[in-house]
Amino acid sequence: MKTVFVFFFLCVSHEVIGLKAMYKGFNTLSIEPIDYGVGKNYFHVGIRKSIICKGGDKNDKVEWVDPSGSVVPRVAANRVFVQEHFVPSYKARIPAAVLVFSHLSVEDSGVWQCRTDRKTKDVSLCVLDPVEFVDTPNEVTVDLGRSITLTCQARGEPEPRLVWYRNGELIVDSSTKFMISTKYNSQGFEGLLTIRSLEREDSGIYGCEAIQASPHDDECTTSSSINITLNINYAPIFTNGNDTSVVFVKDNENVELVCLVDAFPEPTYKWYKELGDVLSELSQSEIHVDEDKTKSHVSFNANESLFGQRFRCRATNQYGTVEKVFAIQRLEEPDAPTEVNINNLTHNSLQLAIIWEEEAFYQVGGAEILYMKAEMVKKKASLDWRRAKSVQLSLDEFDSIESEIGGALITLPSLDADTTYWVRVRATNEAGWSAWSAPIKAVTDTEPEVEDTPQEVPVSIRSPTHDSEARFYGLLFAGGVLVVAFGSMFVVRLV
């Protein structure tokens, strides 16, 4: 009996150990991770590469299957072959298969499979011949108004697809401005970007991106870019206009005259002081030019002799010359507005049109509005502005500058609807405040009517008692009809 028990125990133990080994082997088929290198997602064509797949049991037969489904042969003379390998393990040697590429090809991209009788495991491989840009200029210069075709030539495998960007934005083929095309020559694909009727705004950085995508694996893609700087030749232009600039300055303050220019090639600057019809050139030591050559400026201390003087900035390159005049005037307290009118109104705001005489508006740096309800005043002569509310606005808070009328539009907000107000305005700058304008009376509009919201008609809900009563009377009525009908038939028969 004891012998039978021992035999039974040994058999069960053997089966358990066998099951454990089989379970362990079934779950431990492994492939070494693919390491393309830092910042890369592909292998370069031509290199030698091997990938180890390790089985989980000493009895496993490990083999590799290529992306087409064929078993890779163990023929060392082939470009792609499998080597048998064993990995040392506890009390046994675990079989493994080494997939060897003597030199990688783009066609090797795809999903490779390692398998045993009980287990399979996939690994994706990406192999590319990365893009190389050839005969592609990094900088192109052309005259304003001309057309230009930028070229970008890329070679690689798989054949790249080319797209264009301008200052980081994708360029869409346009019949009016841009035309994109591609041609193939001995060097590879050549992308062409034609830009018609060049304007100053067309200058900038144009990027050519070459995108490669393997037909064997959707995840096997990469891209490479090259930038082309497009310079457009044009004469200097003042970015803030060529009109004479009147510069107001207080006594004994420093004043800086700034000449802002857009040009290519970069311009040279000269400054002159106007002495009647004669120009007296300032020395170069008095002229300051920024590093990017887009701004030149000179500085003076404002005194009595400087007020009324005019200076001229001249910017020149090989395509032209421009000049701008600066007139220096003493900054004084602004004049009072000559007119204040209502330009527009709503139920809660008034837009004022404020006008000054001739060039007095040039010295305005802001405004203050005083306003109060007319109901607080019995007569115009008794206006007490100490009870008024105030709104102060800087020049950049004005609705708009109306240079043709020598004034500005300013909105007075947060008013009551259908209300009459007294309003007056004064101007300000760094030198002080002007006198007040003559007061005007203004009335806001009535508040717009709010449309009534349609009310839902309530749905009556009858109680069960009402339903029962309705059914009762309905049956009673139907019964009465039947009685009358049968009675009529009976009478007819008798007749």
User: Cβ distance 180 to 173 under 8 Å?
Assistant: yes
When pLDDT is cut at 50, 70 and 90, the band that residue 394 belongs to is very high
345, 442 in Cβ contact below 8 A?
yes
- pLDDT reported for residue 453: 53
Residue 20 parent element (H or E)? helix 2-26
Instruction: List all residues 6 or more positions away from 469 whose beta carbon is below 8 Å from its beta carbon.
Output: none
Q: What pLDDT digit, counting tens, does each position of 268-319 carry?
A: 999 999 998 899 999 999 999 999 899 999 999 988 889 999 999 999 999 9
- Whether the pLDDT of residue 485 is over 50: the answer is no
d(CA 131, CA 67): 25
Where does the pLDDT of residue 353 fall: very low under 50, low under 70, confident under 90, or very high at 90 and above?
Answer: very high
Q: Is 365 exposed, middle or buried (0-12, 13-18, 19+ CB in 10 A)?
A: middle
Contact partners, residue 288, CB within 8 Å, separation at least 6: 296, 297, 298, 299
71 secondary structure, DSSP code: B
Residue 463 has pLDDT above 50, yes or no: no
Return the higher-pLDDT residue of 26 and 214: 214
Model pLDDT, residue 94: 87
DSSP 261-284: EEEESPPEEEEEEEETTEEEEPPG
Q: pLDDT for 432-445, tens place per residue?
A: 999 999 999 999 99
Q: Decide which of 101 and 168 is more confident.
A: 101
Evaluate if residue 452 carries a pLDDT over 80. Answer: no
Pick from 338, 339, 348, 340: nearest CA to 443: 348
Domains of the chain: residue spans and CATH: 24-125 (2.60.40.10), 130-232 (2.60.40.10), 239-330 (2.60.40.10), 339-443 (2.60.40.10)
pLDDT in tens, 54-83: 988 888 899 999 999 999 999 999 999 999
Say how far apart CA 335 and CA 363 lie, in whole Å.
8
In the predicted structure, residue 18 carries a pLDDT above the cut 50: no
Q: Which two tokens stand for residue 426?
A: 């004064």
